[in-house]
Amino acid sequence: MKTTIFLIVLFYFNAIEGQNKWDKPNYKQIKKDCSNIKSNFYYDSLFARYLRADTNINLDEKRHLYYGFQFTKKYSPYGEGGHFNDSLRSVMKLNELTSLDYRNVSIYCDSLLVGDPMNLKYLSMQANVFRKMGDSSRYSITKFKLNSVIDAILSSGDGETEKSAYYVIAVAHEYSILKILGYEYAGKQSLIGTNDLLKIKENENNLKGIYFDVTSSLTFMENLFKKNK
């Protein structure tokens, strides 16, 4: 499925369009909002709207949706794919996919997205499959989910400095965002404070790398260490 990358970029530019401002997420406030049943940001209600692709969700709600996920029981910054991930990789190695392969990719992605519902890679793969299958309804829903996550991340910074890092709640999202922006990973990563710096190959913007704030991942691992100590 070599066309997947092209489709990802297409989605990303659709999401980027019109975004000129960014604002760091306030995790303490987001957690408070998402736990308030009377709030428009109450997480169960917000997530239900996400699943049914409610196009009335605004940017602030998308930010609460994405960043609020880290406060749910399902959250893991590294995901848990198991044999579904292995099965998906096996299919993706094929040069040509049959209609059965497309259906299988959709099924594997569905299973993976249950525990990792905002994984940009899986959402993009699934959207591509629905497009190939001519399933316009599920394609639109999945594209909406994909763009909602992208909108939230891109609203948090520009990634060019430590102070303007993109905020992400999962490690895998860093590499997907590089593709969003049209950059190619140079194979080197450094942790600087709470920022992950991914080195990128030569580009027209003359950037050496893109910064990602990984406070969510670090906090999760710290709490996990304390729990198992």
Contacts of residue 202, Cβ cutoff 8 Å, sequence gap at least 6 = none
SS3 state at 157: coil
Count the residues in the chain.
Answer: 229
Amino acid at 77: P
Pairing of strands 195-200, 209-213: antiparallel
- 8-state DSSP, 214: -
Give first-to-last CA distance, the chain, whole Å: 43
CA distance 22 to 130: 32
CA distance 124 to 12: 10
Q: Per-residue confidence of the chain (229 residues) as pLDDT tens digits?
A: 444 444 454 555 454 444 557 899 999 999 999 999 999 999 999 999 999 999 999 999 999 999 999 999 989 888 665 567 778 878 877 878 888 888 888 888 988 898 889 999 999 989 989 998 999 999 999 999 999 999 999 999 999 999 999 999 999 999 999 988 889 999 999 999 999 999 999 999 999 999 999 999 999 988 887 777 6
CA distance 124 to 113: 11
Distance of CA 201 to the CA centre of its chain: 22
- The 10s digit of each residue's pLDDT in 162-212 is 999 999 999 999 999 998 888 999 999 999 999 999 999 999 999 999 999
CA distance 4 to 90: 16
Distance of CA 26 to the CA centre of its chain: 18
- 8-state DSSP, 69: G
3-class secondary structure per residue, 167-182:
ECCCHHHHHHHHHHHC
- The 10s digit of each residue's pLDDT in 202-226 is 999 999 999 999 999 999 988 887 7
Hey, what are 210's tokens?
A: 């893109």
**Radius of gyration in angstroms for the set of CA atoms belonging to the chain, rounded to a whole number:** 17
